[in-house]
């Protein structure tokens, strides 16, 4: 190397670091770095280190390997979190399924106990559509429904959706069986009283699901001279809690 070249190198080495943009790139690099031996620049992308100029994304191999390891750990943690969430959801679903089966068993047992006492389990639609014939025969039946008191009248509704229609239909009552409770057991009347502590959309009280056991008969509504089928409630059952 000539003396002139050595002098230029010495001047550059002692001069303040000056940055520039290499042709065809948008990366800044200083003159001194051009004279300093380096390991091959690498690019960190999508969790992998790849060789190449890389420019602004260029990293020394050791730094890139560390980033790649951090990336791998982060991905592993994310995968574990997703799997933990899936496992938790599945565990909760199993618990819910077991609880649902347990509840169904309790309800079935309550109706089975009623059948032993002479109350035939009847689906709600049949009890409502065949109410006149059942009342004429003074049939003992059991029905699964929702107890609601509207004014001075009491009903068993087929579902909570039918209860909600009290508001939607401005108090119109459909899919409901009138009930009388004067002769119900004391425990049953106590449960009904507690149920009526809850207001249903400001137009009625109750809304509690229960198994009802009673005798179909003909009742006269207050202020009316006409009789219609109703359920003379004798006792009920509700799951504890």
Highest mean pLDDT pick, 2-11, 54-63, 168-177: 168-177
**Is pLDDT of 111 > 50?**
yes
Look at residue 79 and tell me if it is in a domain.
no
Look at residue 27 and tell me if it is in a domain.
yes
Expressed as residue numbers, the domain containing 188 is 120-237
Say if residues 52 and 43 touch (Cβ distance below 8 Å): yes
Q: ∠ CA(101), CA(127), CA(119), 5° rounding? A: 65
**Is pLDDT of 196 > 60?**
yes
* Whether residues 48 and 145 fall in one domain: no
**Is pLDDT of 206 > 50?**
yes
| pLDDT confidence tier of residue 38, bands split at 50, 70 and 90 | very low
Look at residue 202 and tell me if it is in a domain.
yes
Q: Cα–Cα distance between 7 and 13 in angstroms, integer?
A: 10
**Is pLDDT of 4 > 70?**
no
* Whether residues 227 and 136 fall in one domain: yes
| pLDDT confidence tier of residue 222, bands split at 50, 70 and 90 | low
pTM: 0.60
* Whether residues 143 and 51 fall in one domain: no
| pLDDT for the residue numbered 237 | 92
| pLDDT confidence tier of residue 31, bands split at 50, 70 and 90 | very low
- For 112-139, the pLDDT digits (tens) are 999 999 999 999 999 999 999 999 999 9
CA distance to 48, 71, 102, 124, 192, per residue, from 165 (Å):
61, 56, 30, 17, 21
**Is pLDDT of 212 > 90?**
yes
Say if residues 179 and 155 touch (Cβ distance below 8 Å): yes
| pLDDT for the residue numbered 3 | 52
| pLDDT confidence tier of residue 9, bands split at 50, 70 and 90 | very low
Say if residues 193 and 149 touch (Cβ distance below 8 Å): no
- 117 CB-contact burial (10 Å; exposed 0-12 / middle 13-18 / buried 19+): exposed
Comparison of pLDDT for 183 and 71, the residue scoring more: 183
- Between 23-27, 96-100, 160-164, the lowest mean confidence (pLDDT) is in 23-27
Look at residue 87 and tell me if it is in a domain.
no
**Is pLDDT of 43 > 50?**
yes
Say if residues 232 and 183 touch (Cβ distance below 8 Å): yes
* Whether residues 124 and 233 fall in one domain: yes
Tell me, what CATH number does 205's domain have? Answer: 2.40.50.140
Look at residue 162 and tell me if it is in a domain.
yes
| pLDDT for the residue numbered 36 | 44
Q: For residue 2, give both structure tokens.
A: 């000539």
* Whether residues 55 and 127 fall in one domain: no
Look at residue 85 and tell me if it is in a domain.
no
Look at residue 107 and tell me if it is in a domain.
no
| pLDDT confidence tier of residue 59, bands split at 50, 70 and 90 | low
Q: Looking at the 3D structure of the chain, how many domains does it have?
A: 2
What average pLDDT does range 86-92 have in this prediction?
Answer: 91
Q: What are phi and psi of 227, to 5 degrees?
A: -100, 150
User: How many other β-carbons are positioned within 10 Å of the β-carbon of residue 12?
Assistant: 14
- Between 26-35, 168-177, 229-238, the lowest mean confidence (pLDDT) is in 26-35
Q: Domain ends where: 60, 75, 105?
A: 60
């Amino acid at each position: 190397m000539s003396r002139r070249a050595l002098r230029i190198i010495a001047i550059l080495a002692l001069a303040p670091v000056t940055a520039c943009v290499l042709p065809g790139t948008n990366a800044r690099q200083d003159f001194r770095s051009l004279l300093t031996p380096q390991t091959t620049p690498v690019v960190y992308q999508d969790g992998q280190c790849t060789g190449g100029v890389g420019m602004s994304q260029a990293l020394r191999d050791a730094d890139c390997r560390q980033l790649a390891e951090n990336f791998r750990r982060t991905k592993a943690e994310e995968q574990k979190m997703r799997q933990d969430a899936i496992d938790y959801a599945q565990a909760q679903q199993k618990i819910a399924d077991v609880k649902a089966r347990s509840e169904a068993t309790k309800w079935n047992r309550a109706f089975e106990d009623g059948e032993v006492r002479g109350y035939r389990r009847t689906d709600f639609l049949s009890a409502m559509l065949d109410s006149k014939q059942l009342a004429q025969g003074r049939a003992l039946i059991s029905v699964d429904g929702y107890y609601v008191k509207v004014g001075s009248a009491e009903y068993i509704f087929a579902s909570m959706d039918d209860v909600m229609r009290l508001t939607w239909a401005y108090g119109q009552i459909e899919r409901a069986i009138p009930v009388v409770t004067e002769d119900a057991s004391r425990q049953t009347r106590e449960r009904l009283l507690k149920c009526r502590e809850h207001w249903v959309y400001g137009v009625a009280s109750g809304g509690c699901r229960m198994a009802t056991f009673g005798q179909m008969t003909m009742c006269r509504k207050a202020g009316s001279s006409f009789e219609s089928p109703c359920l003379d409630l004798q006792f009920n059952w509700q799951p504890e809690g």
